[in-house]
Amino acid sequence: MFAANRSLIPIRHYVPRICLQNFSQQDSYSRDEMTHFGFQTISEVDKKNKVIDIFSSVSTKYDLMNDLMSAGTHRIWKNTFVNDLNPMPDYKILDVAGGTGDIAFRILEKIKEPSPDGHLIVCDINKSMLDEMLSPLQFEDNSFDAYTIAFGIRNVVRIHEALEEAYRVLKPGGRFMCLEFAPMEQPILGEVITGDWDSYQYLIESIHNFPPQEEFMQMIKNAGFRFVTYKNLSLGIVAIHSGFKII
Instruction: Determine how many CB atoms are found less than 10 A away from the CB of residue 221.
Output: 14
Residue 80 confidence class, pLDDT cut points 50, 70, 90: very high
Consult the annotation and say whether 80 binds a ligand: no
The pLDDT assigned to 66 comes to 67
Cα separation, 96 vs 244, whole angstroms: 17
Which homologous superfamily is 15-27+35-244 in?
A: Vaccinia Virus protein VP39 (3.40.50.150)
pLDDT value, residue 1: 33
pLDDT (0 to 100) of residue 175: 99
- Domain boundaries defined on the chain: 15-27+35-244
124 is in an annotated binding site: yes
pLDDT tens track for 137-186: 578 999 999 999 998 888 787 889 889 999 999 999 999 999 998 865 44
pLDDT of residue 58: 53
For residues 9 and 130, the answer to whether their CB atoms sit within 8 Å is: no
Which pLDDT value is given to residue 123? Answer: 83
Which 8-state DSSP code applies to residue 88? Answer: -
Average pLDDT, the chain: 74
Mean pLDDT within 105-130: 79
% of the chain with per-residue pLDDT over 70: 58
